[in-house]
């Protein structure tokens, strides 16, 4: 089993309130959960209108599948026209058996 966590720093240009921010963020989070079967959470900047810290956790049976899923997640977020990806970091989890 292989696992990783991704952390996205996002910018929502047109957002002028937390309500507008959530209106953009909610479909993005639900789409990631539904289409890619990953765990997603807003992890930072909850009270900021235009910034988002988004965490994504992914588990796969092997390294090749994990890399494929990570690329699909990056592409899904990057293709969203309502957010700008400012930064993305990938953290690979180590297994105690390796």
In the chain, where are the structural domains located? Answer: 2-93
Q: Is 97 helix (H, G, I), strand (E, B) or coil?
A: coil
Helix, strand and coil in the chain, % to nearest 5: 35, 35, 30
Instruction: Output the tens digit of pLDDT for each of the chain's 98 residues.
Output: 999 999 999 999 988 999 999 999 999 999 999 999 999 999 999 899 999 999 999 999 999 999 999 999 999 999 999 999 999 999 999 775 65
**Residues 52, 9 contacting (CB under 8 angstroms):** yes
**pTM for this entry:** 0.90
Please give the pLDDT value at position 98: 56
Give the other-Cβ count within 10 Å of 59's Cβ: 15
**Residues 69, 60 contacting (CB under 8 angstroms):** yes
**Between 3.20.20.80, 1.10.101.10, 3.90.1170.50, 3.30.70.1120, what CATH number should domain 2-93 receive?**
3.30.70.1120
């Amino acid at each position: 089993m292989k696992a990783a966590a991704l952390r996205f720093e996002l910018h929502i240009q047109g957002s002028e309130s937390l309500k507008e921010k959530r209106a953009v963020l909610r479909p993005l989070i639900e789409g990631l959960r539904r289409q890619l079967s990953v765990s997603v959470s807003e992890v930072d900047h909850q009270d900021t209108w235009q910034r988002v810290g988004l965490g994504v956790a992914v588990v796969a049976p092997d390294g090749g599948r994990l890399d494929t899923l990570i690329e699909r997640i990056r592409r899904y977020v990057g293709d969203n026209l309502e957010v700008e990806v400012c930064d993305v970091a990938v953290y690979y989890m180590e297994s105690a058996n390796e």
